Amino acid sequence: MPNALDSWVLVNNNVKPEAIRERGGTFLILDLSPETRYTLRITAHNAADSTVKEYNFTTLTFTGGKRKLEYLDFQTYERC
């Protein structure tokens, strides 16, 4: 059984470009926890091929502030 770091949650499997244009170029991901590190994986498909890109980010605090910077040991850092 995969642990939490190895699992992905599918948010949407068919995002329409026109829906993003209607929202001013944004796509909302709901139900994220405050002050939590995430990795967002986006896969784009077209007739020629597919492309996968990952983005690491941290959500704001509950009050909307940024969390304090912390030291990361890049030798042992894993995907959050």
On the 0-12 / 13-18 / 19+ scale of CB atoms within 10 A, 38 is middle
pLDDT on residue 51: 94
Radius of gyration of the chain (CA): 16
pLDDT tens track for 13-39: 888 888 888 888 888 888 899 989 999
Residue type at 61 in one-letter notation: T
Number of domains in the chain: 1
Residue type at 69 in one-letter notation: L
Show the domain range for 62. Answer: 1-80
DSSP 70: -
Look at 26-30, 66-70, 73-77 and tell me which has the smallest mean pLDDT. Answer: 73-77
DSSP 22: H
**Closest by Cα among 27, 32, 31, 34 to 13:** 27
